[in-house]
Amino acid sequence: MHVDIAGVAKAATVAAGFDWRWSADDLPRFCAAAGWQVADERPRMVRLTTNLDVERPAAAAIGSYHTGDDGQRLLVEYVTLTVADIATESAEVLAGSRTEISARLTTELGPGHRIRSGARSALTWERPAVTIRVVADEQSIALEFANPHCPAPPQQRGSADPHVGADDWPRFTTALAHTLSRMPYDGFLVLSTVGNRYAQFRMRADRLFCEIVGNDYLDEEFRVSPADETTMAETGWRSGTGGGDANWHLDIELPASFGVYDAAAARVTVALRDILRVPTPDLLELRTWVDDARWELDSSLLTAARQR
């Protein structure tokens, strides 16, 4: 594993001194200052190419659209880039890389504020125009530049809506694709119905994890046939690896285009409708939550999908 400490330090230093206004117009200016490039724009996301000497020199600016006197504009909420993918490395390697990055940024930016939640830790530097964070978990290390003026999420970190979707699966699929593309770091989304039939999603620093329940956890009347399992594999799902993991898995590496989220949502629809035999999306219960209380998961499109 290689970590570009100097590249991380330069990006953070540029971000700390940058004149952030948190519109999409900031991104070309920031890229010019940091030596990055704007790659392309997707719904609620602008993909960036960094100059870090790492395997995947990519970043993403995530935001939401706001309507003003000059029309609809993207308000950038945060920029995130994975600076080290350590999924196959040891805990010692993770700790060492995190310590190196933290020490260098402390030299450049001064002492930061440390936050820890389970296996996840963050070292944060607050500036008037930007919040800079180094976020690490058991799989990756990410650097984030966040808009300090975004409204704080509500105290209630989870939500439930027992009637999500409609009897229109295409509409549900589109809503799911948009919802997945908007999920914040450490966000969870679960769609479930009777018989322990469910799909669940978790957003991490470098990828979105998607799961469909496997036979080991399904009520007997809803267990799927070998032919159905073949269909799951043919549509891109990986079977569980054993050791208590009997679900079907699909990972989306980040940053990802909206087309990738759309394709994943289509696979989820096939699994729910054709394999698990859920008649209509309105039978699915939706639950969402975010481990980081500063953010919320916007599931409004999935909720609205049931409305005609």
Tens digits of per-residue pLDDT, 22-40? 998 999 999 999 999 998 8
- DSSP 8-state assignment for residue 223: P
Q: For the sheet with 58-68, list strands across it.
A: 37-42, 45-49, 58-68, 71-85, 140-146, 131-136, 120-126, 113-117
| Angular region, 39: left φ>0, alpha ψ -120 to 50, beta rest | alpha
**Which structure tokens are listed for 3?**
């970590």
State residue 120's pLDDT score. 58
Tokens, residue 157? 């970190």
Is the pLDDT confidence value at 308 over 70? Answer: no
Collapsing DSSP states into helix, strand and coil, what is residue 44? coil
> What does the alpha-carbon distance between residue 177 and residue 110 come to, in Å, rounded to a whole number?
40
Q: How far apart are CA 116 and CA 137, in angstroms?
A: 10
Ramachandran angles phi, psi of 223, nearest 5°: -65, 145
Instruction: Measure the CA dihedral 126/130/132/135, to 10°.
Output: 110
Would you call 207 helix, strand, or coil by DSSP? Answer: strand
Q: 220 Cβ partners below 8 Å, 6+ apart?
A: none
* pLDDT tens per residue across span 42-93: 656 788 999 998 777 888 887 776 766 666 677 888 888 877 655 445 667 7
Percent residues over pLDDT 90 in the chain: 32
**Residue 58 or residue 190, greater confidence:** 190
Is the per-residue pLDDT at 157 higher than 80?
no
Amino acid identity of residue 286, one-letter, is L
Does the pLDDT value for residue 271 go beyond 90? yes
**Per mean pLDDT, which range of 146-155, 199-208, 225-234 is the poorest?**
146-155
pLDDT of 145 reads 92
pTM of the model: 0.54
Beta bridge pairs of residue 118: none
**What kind and span of H or E run contains 27?**
helix 26-34
Give the confidence band of 163 by pLDDT, cuts at 50, 70, 90.
very low
Which pLDDT score is estimated for 198?
96
What percent of the chain shows pLDDT beyond 70? Answer: 80
Which pLDDT belongs to residue 97? 83
Q: Which one-letter amino acid corresponds to residue 132?
A: I
